[in-house]
Structure 1
Amino acid sequence: MTILSQLSACSVPETTPVERWRHAADGAFAADISPNGELVVMSGVNNGINVWRVGQDEPLYNWQHQGEGNNLVTTVHISADAQYVVTSDREAFALWSVSTGDPVGFWRIDESSIRDIAVANGGRGILVGRSNGKIMYFEPDTSRRIEFLGHQEKINSIDISPNGKFALSGGNDYLAYLWSTDTGQVIHTFNHSSRVTKVAIDDEGRYLFTADSKRESKIWNAQTGEPVSTLSYIARQKIFTDAQFSSDGKYLLTGSPSRRMHLWSVATGEQLAEWKVAPRETSVPKTSVVYAVGFLSNGTILSASSAGLTSTWEPYLP
């Protein structure tokens, strides 16, 4: 990936998007951006789940979890190959095919509520993190399932490798684990000083990201489990809603619940750029959650937010 412009650490961040599309008229409950930056899936407050190609004015598909009832989908994840999408409310999850627009399956959870979901390439494996601390790995084609019981408290964030072989999870027990979906065995353990609120796997298998609710947000070597860098910021706490590594492995892009996106150096943890998305018009105070972030192939930055907006932003190179 080539990122074009110049930015020094003291520059005023650009907060005017290059382009913007309203993908949910009354705001959104959840959204995700495909790793290739081509697709946005947004769960709207009043218009169900819509699949968009970035830059197009009409959605590819409109999906409904509960038939014609109220949309309660609060979690969305697109597979790394952008071929499958998994969506969930608190009690059930669904797998969808992007190529056909059809549902592949719909499953209900008997115990505890769903906290986070993720899907592997080809839809071959689905992770479901729950409020009782358990994580289910499920293969729709074979019906094989295992439960990961490493966490002792509520799950906050999970991610899955593109091939479905590895899972990263973080919870209220101050721990993050990289573990095998074949065996359920822990590969690496990451200790934090407060509850782990966000985790992410680099799709190329180079890095892992774990962040807690206070001051510690770290990038790790996925192979060795050793730290690569710690994100450098002054605030006493920084909560992340999404995290995406660039394809060249040089950058980490994050979203937050306070309208902001940040670009970080993977090697040093230095903050390189900051953007502020538009607020949700009906919110008081005027704020917006950045649900999803991403990169286009030329380094252009993408965001999708609770305001129901998908935006593109000028590319940057420190």
Structure 2
Amino acid sequence: MDADQGIVIPPSEATVLSGHEREVTTCQWNPVLDLLASGSFDATARIWHMSDDSKNPNELVIRHWMDGCSEKIKSCKMSDGSMLATGSFDGYVRIWRTDGSLRYTLRQYEGPINALKWNKQGSYILSARADGAMISDVGDGYCNTFTFHTNNVLNVDWRTDNTFATCSTDGNIHVCEIERTKPIKSFRGHTDRVNAIRWDPQGHLLASCSDDKTVKLWSMKQDTCVHDIQAHSQRICTVQWSRIGPSKSNMNLILASASLDSLIGLWDVERGACISKLTKHTDGVHSVAFSPDGNYLASGGRDNYVHIWSIQSGQLIHSYKASGSISEVCWNSRGSKVAASASDGKVFVLDMRKV
């Protein structure tokens, strides 16, 4: 990497969370508490209690065992403080209390759980599966199953507490509503699998990214896409919205896209135009995440690097080299810490107040 050494975060400044024995596929901060959850191919989820100054946080291990067999964890998501949802390759969604006790085991379906998402109230958990999207009311354990896709559902996202979107390997996107048996709207335009979908913070626009190398923006007011962004030269792994523009500017809402071509695109969604392309990664970028104030972007990818970027200037301001490929990056709710999960079984936490 040709970055100025002044921006490189030394290994001594990172908190390394060791315990997982295989690739850590996902990590996520609790929206309220200073807890970090991680899930791994070693068939465990872990909840790390992160105090401000601790280099050795307390660790709660949650083991996934079914009839004597361990199950790899592909996704985990924390609600607003009381529950952790995990999805594994055995097709089960499990809901855990933060003390590690199992609250619900939601019925089995064929194939792995590809993604999970809580609604804002924490009353429903939405899961993407090989044969459709499952929605579960965790208040009473009731499960309502939707199977709008004949192909593998890869990702899901809530628009409101009653409506959500799903995407799949067939390239189609469906907007669905609780208690309805058919989609209320469908978007067709991608020519290959859709890897991620994200509603903007107000639920006006839906962003999607695909193996067809495009990012598309959709509106409930029309059937064709609002913007068709020819964004990258390889598969686009994910898209993420900034909750706001940078707090020190008058910039519009921003969308970030990350691709296996090693580039990150920042897009002005009002015009569908590129603000900047971030180019310091040397291999595919798997994950991006905006800081809560919209001022910074964290990214991680195959080159083992976690980069922190200034949105206003487009410059790389901090960089940390992990010991494995990065699968996911995420900010805590205060914007003071960035966590990253890696292929070597480690989870890394960077305290941005100290760097």
Q: What TM-score, normalized by structure 2, do the two folds share?
A: 0.68
Contact 2:243 2:293 in 1 (8 A): no
Structure 1: distance between partners of 2:63 and 2:325:
13
Where do 1:67-216 residues align within 5 Å? Answer: 72-79=112-119, 82-97=122-137, 100=139, 102-103=141-142, 105-122=144-161, 124-141=162-179, 144-191=183-230, 192-204=232-244, 206-216=253-263
Kindly state the Cα deviation for residue 151 of structure 1 after the two structures are TM-superposed: 0.8
Q: Quick one: higher RCO (CA 8 Å, sep 6+), 1 or 2?
A: 1
Structure 2: distance between partners of 1:62 and 1:260:
37
Closer, same or farther: CA 110–87 of 1 in aligned 2, 3 Å: closer
Q: Deviations over 1:128-147 (max 9, x none)?
A: 11112111111225555221
2:86 to 34, 39, 42: 42
Q: 2:105 corresponds to which residue?
A: 63
Kindly state the Cα deviation for residue 38 of structure 1 after the two structures are TM-superposed: 8.2
Give percent identity, aligned residues only. 17
The alignment status of 1:264 with 2:309, answered yes or no, reads yes
Q: 2:290 corresponds to which residue?
A: 245
Larger radius of gyration: 2
Kindly state the Cα deviation for residue 249 of structure 1 after the two structures are TM-superposed: 0.3
Q: Deviations over 1:37-68 (max 9, x none)?
A: 98653224579434457xx432573332417x
Greater strand percent: which structure? 2
Alignment RMSD: 3.6
Q: Deviations over 1:230-281 (max 9, x none)?
A: 223151x2231x332111001223344677644332221415243648xxxx
Unaligned residue ranges in structure 2 (runs of 5+): 18-54, 65-69, 246-252
Contact 2:132 2:150 in 1 (8 A): no
Secondary structure of the 1:274 match is: strand
Matched residue count:
293
Closer, same or farther: CA 89–297 of 1 in aligned 2, 3 Å: same
Contact 1:84 1:121 in 2 (8 A): no
Structure 2: distance between partners of 1:313 and 1:299:
10
Structure 1: distance between partners of 2:328 and 2:217:
23
Secondary structure of the 1:214 match is: coil
Structure 1: distance between partners of 2:234 and 2:190:
14
Contact 1:170 1:177 in 2 (8 A): yes
Closer, same or farther: CA 228–194 of 1 in aligned 2, 3 Å: same
Secondary structure of the 2:7 match is: coil
Q: 2:74 corresponds to which residue?
A: 29
Contact 1:33 1:292 in 2 (8 A): no
Q: What TM-score, normalized by structure 1, do the two folds share?
A: 0.75
- Which residue type is aligned with residue 262 of structure 2? R
